[in-house]
Amino acid sequence: MNARDSILARVREALRGGSSSHPAESETQLADGPREVRPFLPKVPDDFAGQVALFAERSESLKTEFLSCADEAAASAQLQLLSDREGWESVAFPADSEIRGLLTGVSVGKLEVSRSTVKTDLEKVSAGITGCDALIAQTGSVLLTAKSGGGRALSVLPVHHVVVATYSQLVPDLPAAFELLEKKYAPNFPSFMTFITGPSRTGDIERVLVLGAHGPRKLTVILVESAGTNPSSIEQPPPS
Mean pLDDT of 168-180: 96
Give the other-Cβ count within 10 Å of 62's Cβ.
17
Per-residue model confidence as pLDDT tens digits over 13-64: 877 765 554 545 444 444 455 567 888 889 999 999 999 999 999 999 999 9
Percent of the chain with pLDDT over 90: 68
Can you name the residues that pair with 194 across neighbouring β-strands? 144
pLDDT the model gives residue 240: 42
pTM above 0.85, yes or no: no
pLDDT the model gives residue 37: 82
| Cα distance between residue 57 and residue 165, in whole Å | 17
Average pLDDT, the chain: 86
Instruction: List the domains of the chain with CATH numbers.
Output: 1-32 (no CATH), 45-230 (3.40.50.10420)
Distances (CA, A) of 42 to 59, 219, 235: 16, 23, 20
Closest listed residue to residue 102, CA positions, set 124, 66, 141, 130: 130
85 confidence band (pLDDT: 50, 70, 90): very high
Mean pLDDT of 102-115: 95
pLDDT the model gives residue 176: 96
pLDDT the model gives residue 227: 53
pLDDT the model gives residue 40: 85
Per-residue model confidence as pLDDT tens digits over 199-225: 987 766 666 666 656 779 999 999 999
